[in-house]
Amino acid sequence: MNALLTQLKNLGPMRLAALAGVGVGLLAFIIYFATRFTATPMELLYGNLEAVDSNRIVQELEAQNIPYELRNGGADIYVGADQVLRQRVSLAEFATGGATVGYEVFDEMDSLGATNFMQNVNLVRALEGELARTVAAIDSVKAARVHLVMPKRELFSRETQEPSASIYIKMKTGRLDQGQVNAIQQLVAAAVPQLKPSRISIVDEAGTLLSRNFEDDGDMLAFTREEMRLKTEQRLARNIEQLLEQTVGPGKARAEVRADMDFDRTVTEEEIFDPESAVPRSTVNLEEQAQTRENDPGAVTVQNNLPDANLNAGGPTATSSESRTEETVNYEISKRVVNSVSDGGEIERLSIAVLVDGTYDVAEDGTRTYVPRSDEQMDKIATLVRSAVGYDAQRGDQVEVINMRFTSLDDFMPEDAWTFMGFTKDEIMKMAEGLGIAIVAILVILLVVRPLVTRAFESAAPDEADMLSADAAAGVPQLTGPGSMPVPVDEEMEADELIDIDKVEGRVRASSLRKIGEIVDKHPEEALSIIRNWLYQEA
């Protein structure tokens, strides 16, 4: 132990400081290496969070003393892989709009000291929060905010203001289609008394107005007609593609349809009479018979002027009779009254374009060769398309079927992940990283730490030799071998040797060369790489 302390004292403060620095650096390197490969990997807990939600989740993690990392400006939270599943379930309420206030606001409110105004405000806040949660629960909707305007009816006022609503939606990916927008409008309108869907405005995160609020019926009618035309085109195109995919294969047929439609509203009234289908309605038969007899008055006498003078008359008489028969038949003619109302939406003309992919021949080496379809096949496909859409040449319909090569999806697919003996590239890189760090550590120990320690102890050896020479110069007797006499020391020779610096330096250089030779013999490859680095540096 004393010898070790003596050697350490002989090294000097500079050499001891260098050894201490190398030891501390090596210890830090070993600690880093151990923690780097033994620490638990961090996995994503929740991503793309709002600042409010991230704050609440971080507070819960800190309360449970769970290590975490914030990335992507605080929007992504990472925890240990062994904690991610359990924490994802326990913190789900904070990641899905946990900051939104719903009807639980009444649980925290003091009902005794609350005024009517405060209760009305909390009611609106609760209703807005519940509607926002419901809208945010729709697929592809990340977050939502709802603002309601529910005017209060003034006293002695006949006019009432209708409520309105505005909804802000933040999407995860994509955009809402018109059907989903209409569904949200109906959902909110049904939850708020006297709220009409036309008074609900919906805006996305890009500031785009998604809802269609029309001031008059004309605008709504125009939009409805355009929507009907688009749905008709999509329906016909979908029918064509589904029909052709049964023959040419999935994804090898593409159809586009342009429909010109008539949306004029037509009211028609017709009265049609059929004279050939007359039916007797009524028949009237009339028979008349009349008979007249006249006497010749003759001379004027008193007898002729008496009542019933004709009975007593004996003069000549004239008799006449008349007979008439009349028949009237009333016929009912068949009549048809037609009242037809057409609200429009009739197809006036169709323009259809169909693109069909060809076939492919696969060679033995896997090479695919494109082969166009024959004219006979294209004619059959065109016939199928005409039948599927109800082709009418008198209407001016056009159908074009073209055979062209489709771009293969394989050209855009990423290449298969490279693997070596079942290990992926990331796993191999991680193992190479660990192996590289281990090699560097070994090289540091062999090429830096060991030479420094060896040089320090070699430097101490000449100091001991100098001390022995100094003792001999002072007259201290030297040790003798067995059976031998002490060798007299020449003072001048000793002085010359002591002051011969070249001999000392040569001895030190020879010792260094010997040590370097040993290192080269033990580690020839490392030594060769070091010499090459020196040569490159000099070049």
Same domain, 129 and 274: no
Domain count, the chain: 6
Same domain, 129 and 206: yes
How many C-alpha atoms does 10 have within 13 Å on its Cβ side? 20
Q: What is the b/e burial string over 265-293, where b = at least 16 CB atoms within 10 angstroms of the residue's CB? A: eeeeeeeeeeeeeeeeeeeeeeeeeeeee
DSSP conformational letter for 387: H
Same domain, 349 and 422: no
Same domain, 198 and 136: yes
Same domain, 121 and 187: yes
DSSP helix/strand/coil, 143: strand
- What CATH number does the domain containing 48 carry? 3.30.70.1530
For the entire predicted model, the pTM comes to 0.45
Amino acid identity, position 192? V
Same domain, 174 and 258: no
Residue range of the domain that includes 355: 237-264+344-412
**pLDDT tens, N- to C-terminus, the chain (539 residues):** 566 667 666 666 776 677 777 777 777 777 776 666 666 778 888 877 777 778 888 888 888 888 888 888 888 888 888 888 888 888 776 766 555 666 666 666 666 667 777 778 888 888 888 898 888 888 888 888 899 988 887 777 777 788 899 999 988 888 888 888 888 999 999 998 888 888 889 999 888 888 877 666 566 667 778 888 888 899 999 999 999 988 888 888 999 999 988 877 778 888 887 777 777 778 888 888 887 777 666 566 666 666 665 555 555 667 777 888 888 888 777 778 888 777 777 888 999 999 999 888 888 877 888 889 999 999 999 999 999 988 898 988 999 999 988 876 665 555 566 666 667 777 777 777 777 777 877 777 777 667 766 766 655 545 444 444 444 444 444 444 444 444 444 444 444 444 455 555 667 677 777 788 888 888 788 888 888 787 777 65
* Residue 437 lies inside a defined structural domain of this protein: yes
Same domain, 164 and 92: no
Contact 309, 303 (CB under 8 A): yes
Same domain, 200 and 349: no
